[in-house]
Amino acid sequence: MPGPHEHRPTHRFSSRVSDYVRARPRYPREVLAWLQETIGFTPAWRVADIGSGTGIFSQLLLENGNPVQAVEPNDAMRAEAEASLASFRNFASVRGTAEATTLPSESSVV
């Protein structure tokens, strides 16, 4: 039976972070080439990873050289990302949601 907060989408994986990390597929590196071809994406772009979870996509971007601002409402998932990506100096993480990212209002979206 789910815990009392398991029905809230932002807490769905709180008690299963290690399972999520182990089982969640990684993104293929080819997505970076596709982004470059489609929208001119480069390592110079600063990226906001909204709903960043454990940082799987953030890691791919960081390895590409992109600065990443991760936004994640789930404390356990965000803590995992912060621990696993701590060695990347261009990584920052905040508690927020898609509706309230904490990012400046002048942030642009492509």
The reply to whether 16 falls in a domain is yes
pLDDT, residue 69, reads 95
Residue 4 placed within a domain: no
| Digit-coded pLDDT (tens) for 66-96 | 999 999 998 988 998 999 999 999 999 999 9
The CATH number of the domain where 15 resides is what? 3.40.50.150
Q: Is residue 15, in this structure, part of any structural domain at all?
A: yes
Count: domains in the chain: 1
In a domain, 83, yes or no: yes
Over residues 20-47, the pLDDT tens digits come to: 667 667 889 999 999 999 999 999 999 9
Question: Does 2 fall in a domain?
Answer: no
* Claim: this prediction has a pTM higher than 0.85: no
Q: Which domain holds residue 37?
A: 9-94
Identify whether 81 is part of a domain.
yes
Q: Give domain status of residue 54, yes or no.
A: yes
Name the residue with higher pLDDT: 16 or 45: 45
Does the residue 1 lie in any domain? no
Scored b (16 or more CB within 10 A) or e, 32-69 reads beebeeeeebeeebebbbbbbbbbbbbbbbbebebbbb
